[in-house]
Amino acid sequence: MQSKIRVPDLQALQAEGMPITALTAYDYSSARILDNAGVDIILVGDSLGTVFQGQETTLAVTLDEMIYHARIVSRAVRRGLLVVDMPFMSYQTSARDALVAAGRLVKEGNAEAVKLEGAGYSLEAVRRMVDAGIPVMGHLGLTPQSVHAMGGYRVQGRGKKDAEQLHEDAKALEEAGVFSLVLEGIPEGLAETVSSALSIPTIGIGAGKHCNGQILVLQDVLGLPTREAQVSPKFVKQFADIEGEMTRAVSEYIEEVQSGIFPGKDHTYE
């Protein structure tokens, strides 16, 4: 095993110009594969609402569900940095609520860092958590918890005003103490400008190649069906066809059971 990735190591990777790799995981076996393969950041994303639970949005995901999945994933992760999403309404209500929720993610879910969406009202929450010793990752651009306000999952920061606001929010989050920032669904040029204006690493998803790292949802990478997959975004690259392979294996199993081939002598106790 390569040495454990901790928050300061991400800044070292950024300084070396080595792109940071990140993927999502919600279960033990996926997390073990990602960690053994050498992914730097393993995110227990609240995308588990749409991807794992088959819901239409991430809004209904609860703090208890995040803790449950984080604890499972933490049992598999030895090397990667374990970041856990703060679900909708666990931090928007007050900085105190945010601190209590983040504390639970760390104490009960074994999170090594937490992630929240947006700036503005989140800034005080970020400061309180950072003061308490909890590393916080920001998330700007297409922020799925604001799906209704955005009018759907749309590319953000296209107009001049929106781009300037995003730039300002990124600076404000950095000043508030986030150690890294996810930039989702924004034009490449804006991601490049923001990344070069910040001293913390940016992690892009649908934000082009000029971020300091990249993140994707594992199921998208593997080609597994998800609720969102019907409208697979342009930025997703599928690196395998696990749905096809699983379908083949399950069909073969059905065929062998039905035809009496399985279980054969090799899989039977005398």
Contact between 63 and ligand KIV by CB under 6 A: the answer reads no
Length of the chain: 270
**DSSP string of 24-71, one letter each residue:** E--SHHHHHHHHHHT-SEEEE-TTHHHHTS--SSSTT--HHHHHHHHH
Letters for 98-137 (x = contact with ligand KIV by CB under 6 A, - = none) are ----------------------------------------
Per CB under 6 A, the segment of 42-50, 173-181, 229-237, 257-265 that binds ligand KIV is 42-50
DSSP state of 6: -
**DSSP string of 211-230, one letter each residue:** SSEEEE-HHHHHT---SGGG
Minimum distance of ligand KIV from residue 259's CB (angstroms): 42
Report d(CA 48, CA 209) in Å as an integer: 25
Contact between 47 and ligand KIV by CB under 6 A: the answer reads yes
Q: Which of these, 71, 63, 82, 68, lies nearest to 24 by C-alpha position?
A: 82
Per CB under 6 A, the segment of 38-46, 97-105, 145-153, 252-260 that binds ligand KIV is 38-46
Out of 191, 217, 218, 222, point to the residue binding ligand KIV (CB under 6 A). 217
Active site annotation includes 184: yes
Minimum distance of ligand KIV from residue 206's CB (angstroms): 9
Out of 84, 134, 186, 205, point to the residue binding ligand KIV (CB under 6 A). 205
Of 112, 117, 174, 184, which residue is the catalytic one?
Answer: 184
Minimum distance of ligand KIV from residue 45's CB (angstroms): 2
Report d(CA 164, CA 34) in Å as an integer: 36
Minimum distance of ligand KIV from residue 58's CB (angstroms): 7
Q: Select 87 or 177, whichever has its Cβ closest to ligand KIV.
A: 87
Contact between 145 and ligand KIV by CB under 6 A: the answer reads no
Out of 14, 21, 39, 46, point to the residue binding ligand KIV (CB under 6 A). 46
Residue pointed to by tokens 């040029």: 189
133 CB burial (10 A radius; 0-12, 13-18, 19+): exposed
Here the tokens at position 252 are 């073969």
Written as one letter, the residue type at 142 is: L
Q: Select 104 or 262, whichever has its Cβ closest to ligand KIV.
A: 104
Per CB under 6 A, the segment of 33-41, 44-52, 161-169, 250-258 that binds ligand KIV is 44-52
Report d(CA 233, CA 247) in Å as an integer: 24
Report d(CA 76, CA 34) in Å as an integer: 9
User: Catalytic site residues?
Assistant: 184
Instruction: Summarize as ranges the residues that interact with ligand KIV (CB under 6 A).
Output: 24, 43, 45-47, 85, 139, 182, 184, 205, 215, 217
